[in-house]
Amino acid sequence: MSKSYVVMFDTSNEVVTVALARIVLHDGRCALELCDSDTCAAHRASNTLLLPMLDALLKKHHVDHSDLQCVCCGLGPGSFTGVRIALATAKGIAQSLSIGLIGISTLDALAWGAWHAGTRGALAVVCDAMRKEVYPACYTLTEQGVQRHTSVCVMKVAQAYTFLHDTRASLSHSAGGSGSADVSCSNSSASQSEATASLSHNALTWAITGDALTKYVDEFSSFGSMLPEKLWNTSGWGLLLCLQQEIDSARVDIFDAARHNPAYVLPVYTRLSDAEENERARLSSTDAPHNATSVSVPAFVSARTPDGVSAGTSTYDCTLPASGVSSTVASRDIVLPDENGDGENVVVFLPLDAASMNAVAALDANVMPTTPWTSEQFLSDLRTSGHVWWAAYALNTHRNKRTLLAYAGCLVAGDVMELLRIGVSCAHRRCGIARELLTRLADDARNLGATTMMLEVSAANESACAFYERIGFTEVSRRPAYYSNGDDARIMQAPLLVSGFQTGGMEVCEHEETEVALHSASAPTACIATRNASLPSASAISDNAPSTSHTDTAYNTEGAVHTLIFAVESSCDETAAALIDGAGNLLADVVASQIDFHARFGGVVPEIASRKHIEAICGVASECMDAARKHITPREASMFSWKSLDAISVTYAPGLLGALVVGVAWAKGVAWALEIPVIGVNHLEGHLYANKIGNDWLKPPLVASLVSGGNTLLVHVQAWGSYHTLGSTIDDAVGEAFDKVAKALGLGYPGGPHISRLAKQGNPRAIAFPRAMLHSGDYRFSLSGLKTAVITYINNAKQRHEELPVADIAASFQQAVIDVQVEKSRTALRETGAKVFCLGGGVAANPQLRRAYEEMCAEEGVRLALPPLRSCGDNAGMIALVAYDRYKQGKFFNIGFDPQARCNLDEPY
């Protein structure tokens, strides 16, 4: 057996645990033998320690990466960032080696670690969940193995003690003869019998373990006997035995990579993000005007129109808020024609809100006339903890009116999502709405700890049964004559639905116009059959030391024309990937944007961004590889695989740290698995390089303006890699100011496109907004005062009950921004003597700003380079272009590097 090893690791808490096991097949059984393991304390250092520790383990036992059969990692619950570090790394390893990824419960691994140490009887595990909360779980440990009695949950420390006490009492009562109360991960009836006997004899003797004891030992000391501190964290044996149990129960197959596709493995969460939890509390309130999800027409819609579908009736029209900044979670493949010929009705999916109660009750009475719920029943259920509701609306693109089309609700109890109710108006069935609603419910249920979903449906409802079967439900039991009319009830079960495209529900867009980056005169080609012999050796990138330093060793890469470098970008709310060859040709450049998921919150929610990245990273990477195949010959395409890559690059700074972590950990996993260099790239430098796309003449020295939602700075580019920041904003960034003004005007997020569209209809000189620091004599910027002036103008007009001249406000605000940006850029060009000007960042897509720079450069006799519109926002193509240069210079990162939320563009790296 060529692939005879399994690597296992966990970083769910403040410790990194790695293990290596050998696969032994004997009498039809697959057994794992522990070769070695290592555990190390890692306070905020998991990303720097994990791969060096794993690398040392394999080298110690002379195991090649190609000998790995599968990867196993802990999925939590634990620190969200810690769990994502392990999982993203595992995804990178598994995807690049084309092997399976198996996730296991960190709580179960702790219990198995205690079992291996000789603990028997009842065991409580309490893991730290931060915010003075813990993840409690109860087990029975017998000679036969480990049996879990509780589902994954999170609660305050005081509540957890009560929970454990109540569970202990319940289990003791069950052991006394009233039946088993197990929520077990074991299939052995003998094990269950032994567990019951153990509880009966040890009802008051409990052991307790888990890393939460480092903080809360006093709170739990009276519950049971504390296990030794070395057992409070995961161990190699715990990971192995937990995986072995999964193998023995046939729940996993380490030889089936397709079954264990890394794209579909997700962390164990126990709650929604704070933003979502606050939103649900607000939406369930009947206090106007905050009880409706604010909506706006999505900025971009590309969709199909189902035949014969109308927009529905006004019976289910819902009240829109008077103003609101949030857009929607839009379905980009469902657009309905308006029955009055007045625009289109875009189908949008939103959490159900209290303002829709009358509409949902009316629709429910229409689709379920025999057992309708009242609006009061829906409202009561919406407010019940653990209940999740979503709705689909037709949002008219002209009249800004929404009409309820469908609704669905579920109860999340432990690891099960139970579908409570789902209804779709008759005119809008067979459009994919019901499936999308179930996916939304499943996404939330997964974040609350569920792993499976169940429902009850009448056996006589053939169309509903057929629909459920198509999406993966199977019948697990039947209740004869359950309904009043004598029909049977089918109880059906399925794994939780996963968002489409393996990309977290995000649409993947390919930047077709960026196919050729540096050499635009000819079509890109690549020879990918073999890796270039001049590449740096694996030893150059597999430093065992957990250093975060970078290596600038120069490697011989001359003649590497056919080199292939993969690039990843995840600094904010786009998951992007690109592939560039040794001639500078971008063979693929794809991006999946999360804007739809953040829009209703009026800005990027960091926790949601991190969750979406871990969902999307594998799917986006696969889409990129598929896109690249279109630009190589069929013969080469047949040999094209992850092993064809010569290096991988990734944005390491600046950005949202939780978002950066996912891309960095995944990229490092790929680099380690394939034993190729990893190249870290500064995100801001990437925006500078985006100007190279389609501008093969571009060379420094030049002056560049970087304007985005997070940055506003003016840079003198003396040479590629040599930068001097002339000035930056002292408060708000340009994109941030656009968003905040759009919010004040009641427009959607992101604000830039909305402001720009309205400004075309307004007078840019109508309102004299201030040009802050226009004559400051330096290159600093300030947007806060301008933003305040605009908001004050809006509030004063509202107080006077005047109609807002929205278009004039937008145009005047935008012009104030442009005037300062352009004039300071003009001064910088004159003082530096540069004859080239560039523009980068998301705001670079603003048409009026681009036009203003065209006019200024023409007046100054300066050549202007602008990135293509689709390359203004975050993308991986620009990261690949930077990596292309750094690869030739041999500037590779150590495998133990960590992302940084902030960094100075001027400092070499």
DSSP H helical ranges for 630-721: 634-639, 657-674, 683-689
In the chain, where does the domain assigned CATH 3.40.630.30 lie? 274-448
For β-strands 387-396 and 206-209, DSSP reports them as unpaired
pLDDT tens per residue across span 823-880: 999 999 999 999 999 999 999 999 999 999 999 999 999 999 999 999 999 999 999 9
For β-strands 836-840 and 155-156, DSSP reports them as unpaired
The pTM of the full predicted model, rounded to 2 decimals, is: 0.86
Give the contacts of 394 (CB within 8 A, at least 6 positions apart). Answer: 311, 312, 336, 345, 346, 347, 402, 403, 405, 428
**What is d(CA 840, CA 818) in angstroms, rounded to the nearest whole number?**
14
Other CB atoms within 10 A of residue 138 CB: 24
DSSP state, residue 573: S
pLDDT at 898 > cutoff 70: yes
pLDDT at residue 340, as a whole number:
57
pLDDT at residue 504, as a whole number:
63
In the chain, where does the domain assigned CATH 3.30.420.40 lie? 5-107+238-264, 508-692, 702-867
Residue 262, token pair as written in the block: 């890394």
pLDDT at residue 499, as a whole number:
63
DSSP 469-489: HHTT-EEEEEETT-STTS--E
pLDDT at 235 > cutoff 80: yes
Using 50, 70 and 90 to split pLDDT, how confident is the model at 334? low
Q: If phi over 0 gives left and psi between -120 and 50 gives alpha, with beta otherwise, what is residue 804?
A: beta
**What is d(CA 799, CA 802) in angstroms, rounded to the nearest whole number?**
8
Q: Quick one: which of 757, 439, 378, 409 has its CA closest to 597?
A: 439
Q: What is the percent of the chain where pLDDT is above 70?
A: 83
Give the contacts of 137 (CB within 8 A, at least 6 positions apart). Answer: 107, 111, 124, 125, 126, 148, 149, 150, 152
pLDDT at residue 331, as a whole number:
46
Q: Rounding to the nearest 10 degrees, give the CA dihedral for residues 31, 36, 42, 48.
A: -100
pLDDT tens per residue across span 100-127: 999 999 999 999 999 999 999 999 999 9
pLDDT at 30 > cutoff 90: yes
Read off the amino acid at residue 300: F
Residue 573, token pair as written in the block: 């709310």
Q: If phi over 0 gives left and psi between -120 and 50 gives alpha, with beta otherwise, what is residue 414?
A: left
Q: What average pLDDT does this structure show over 313-328?
A: 39
pLDDT at 96 > cutoff 90: yes
Q: What average pLDDT does this structure show over 315-322?
A: 45
**What is d(CA 751, CA 749) in angstroms, rounded to the nearest whole number?**
5
pLDDT tens per residue across span 748-791: 899 999 999 999 999 999 999 999 999 999 999 999 999 999 99
pLDDT at residue 184, as a whole number:
45
DSSP reduced 3-state for 389? strand
Identify the architecture of domain 5-107+238-264 in CATH. 2-Layer Sandwich (3.30)
Please state which CATH number belongs to domain 118-227.
3.30.420
**What is d(CA 16, CA 86) in angstroms, rounded to the nearest whole number?**
9
Other CB atoms within 10 A of residue 4 CB: 14
Q: What is the percent of the chain where pLDDT is above 90?
A: 75
For β-strands 647-653 and 550-551, DSSP reports them as unpaired
Chain position carrying tokens 């044996």 = 237
DSSP reduced 3-state for 548? coil
pLDDT at residue 399, as a whole number:
56
pLDDT at residue 395, as a whole number:
81
- What is the phi/psi pair of residue 550, to 5°? -105, 155
Other CB atoms within 10 A of residue 755 CB: 26
**What is d(CA 473, CA 468) in angstroms, rounded to the nearest whole number?**
5
pLDDT at residue 308, as a whole number:
30
pLDDT at residue 632, as a whole number:
80
**CA neighbours closer than 13 Å in the CB half-sphere of residue 470:** 11
**What is d(CA 445, CA 468) in angstroms, rounded to the nearest whole number?**
18
Read off the amino acid at residue 653: A
3-state secondary structure 837-875: EEEECHHHHCHHHHHHHHHHHHHHCCEEECCCHHHCCCC
DSSP state, residue 835: S
Using 50, 70 and 90 to split pLDDT, how confident is the model at 200? very low
* Contact by Cβ (8 Å): 622, 263: yes
Read off the amino acid at residue 812: S
- What is the phi/psi pair of residue 487, to 5°? -70, 150
* Contact by Cβ (8 Å): 134, 154: yes
> Which fold would CATH assign to domain 274-448?
Aminopeptidase (3.40.630)
pLDDT tens per residue across span 651-669: 999 999 999 999 999 999 9
* Contact by Cβ (8 Å): 832, 779: no
Burial (Cβ within 10 Å: 0-12, 13-18, ≥19) of residue 750? buried
* Contact by Cβ (8 Å): 890, 536: yes
Q: Which of 145-159, 502-516, 580-594 has the lowest mean pLDDT?
A: 502-516
Mean of all residue pLDDT scores within the chain: 86
pLDDT at residue 534, as a whole number:
32
Q: How far is the CA of 487 from the CAs of 458, 461, 466, 620, in angstroms?
A: 6, 9, 17, 46
- Cα dihedral sign, 113-115-116-120: positive
* Contact by Cβ (8 Å): 748, 760: no
pLDDT tens per residue across span 351-404: 999 999 999 999 999 999 988 999 999 999 999 999 999 999 988 755 567 899
Give the contacts of 117 (CB within 8 A, at least 6 positions apart). Answer: 227, 228, 231
Read off the amino acid at residue 737: A
Using 50, 70 and 90 to split pLDDT, how confident is the model at 322? very low
pLDDT at residue 497, as a whole number:
84
* Contact by Cβ (8 Å): 661, 575: no
Residue 353, token pair as written in the block: 């809100």
Identify the architecture of domain 508-692 in CATH. 2-Layer Sandwich (3.30)
Max Cα–Cα distance, the chain, nearest Å: 92
Read off the amino acid at residue 327: S
> Which fold would CATH assign to domain 702-867?
Nucleotidyltransferase; domain 5 (3.30.420)
pLDDT at 558 > cutoff 80: no
pLDDT at residue 530, as a whole number:
30
* Contact by Cβ (8 Å): 452, 476: no
